Amino acid sequence: MAQKIIYGTVSDDGTKQSGQGFAVESPEAGTYVITFSEPFIEPPSVVATLKDWGADNQIVVKDITTNKAQVNIWDLGIKQQSGGGSPDLTVTKEKSAFNFIAIGEGS
């Protein structure tokens, strides 16, 4: 079998900035669904990194299948309690540009 590689850059609004062999949509802020033009034989390995540095942002790749992968970006924040209590961790989805690469067996 031949190795197949698809890679690209996605802007924070869900538009493709670079790359070929995929389409992307953003159904809600911080969620991006990458659909491969031609499916892999088995689910590929997919890695994503934030394009613009964000020390408090986390990026997660999930729901990887032979023809798609989902990327979620989360903003982590600390909300200080009034009265000196322990701070609360706040987690919200956030729009952000990212790069990705998918590697697997092609047809």
Which ranges of 1-107 does DSSP label H, i.e. alpha helix? none
pLDDT of residue 59: 94
pTM for the model stands at 0.88
**Domain ranges within the chain, ordered by starting residue:** 2-106
Model confidence pLDDT, tens digit, residues 44-99: 999 999 997 667 889 999 999 999 999 999 998 877 766 667 777 888 899 999 99
Residues 6+ apart with CB under 8 A from 4: 40, 44, 103, 104, 105, 106
pLDDT of residue 105: 96
Q: Please calculate the CA angle 50-53-56 and round it to the nearest 5 degrees.
A: 90
**CATH node for 2-106:** 2.60.40.2080
Cα 58 to its chain centre, rounded Å, is 10
